[in-house]
A = this chain, B = another copy of it.
């Protein structure tokens, strides 16, 4: 668990896109973002106060989060100076970079000397159990996709925000590095040892109030041969009561697999529901979330109407049209 709130380190980001992790934190958990720290040449700006390390500490920030991709896969000496000073000023560090903070001897030495923590959110920090399949209290919703990268995390975060706004009991449950940095907690499922995948999802979504919803971040796709085992573990470990189908209708083939066709939403519905009912016979498919970014607004609206007719399910693009319909469907269960 990463201590919040954060100071968001943007470093020398070459453009706004490079700071998308920091942007996600600011968009979804603004209360976690005390300010931003930018170095000379930084081309990203989140519109947050530019704070020095001491100022941010005084404002309550507990962790410096690396919210930016690094160039060339190395943690540069310029970054190092800031990171070392942050540890000395009392910050923990959190990072989703491929190169791990714990592999940098100078950072490890300073962290040990100062008693601060280095969080590499790509690496599990917990010894997860093997799944036991025992039915848990409370309700769970999982987003499943026809493909990878079709908006599953966005859908769950948008539903979580809408449910909180309505006063419903809801918790977004992160299963990937960006989600973990946004919320400060979660499981890096793609880095978990095979035997413990489903158990880690059970651990992430424990017993809860009967009217509480866990909104579990999806990963991969049942139809993506590289990652389908991870998706399966989410479906069986998560015991979802509700599934949201996620889709990107303009994709020519499965992501990274040029000879694999994207399945239809009907195929996804049938397969995901059959598998989910192994762990939870009451599971239902309750809605469809479409990433329409490559369609005009008129085309997107028409497509959603046609989907609703064909599939008999509420359909929306949560980014364009909000997640209200999906939350209505959960509330009606």
Contact = CB atoms under 8 A, between A and B. Distances in A.
Interface of A: 130-135, 189-195, 197-199, 222-223, 225-233, 236-237, 256-257, 259-260, 271, 274-275, 278-279
Contacts of A256: 132
A-B residue pairs, 6 tightest by C-beta: A229-B233, A225-B236, A229-B229, A190-B195, A232-B232, A131-B226
13 contacts: A133-B225, A133-B257, A133-B259, A193-B193, A198-B228, A222-B275, A225-B278, A225-B279, A226-B236, A228-B278, A229-B230, A229-B232, A232-B232
Contact of A194 (B134, B190, B225, B278): B190
**Copies of this chain per assembly:** 2
Residue of A189, A190, A197, A229 with highest tally of chain B CB at under 10 A: A229
A190 B131 CA distance: 13
Contact of A195 (B135, B223, B230): B230
Contacts of A194: 189-194, 197, 229-230, 233
Contacts of A223: 278
A249 to B, nearest CB: 20
Contacts of A195: 190-191, 226-227, 230
Contact of A198 (B198, B229, B233, B259): B229
B190 A226 contact: no
A200 to B, nearest CB: 9
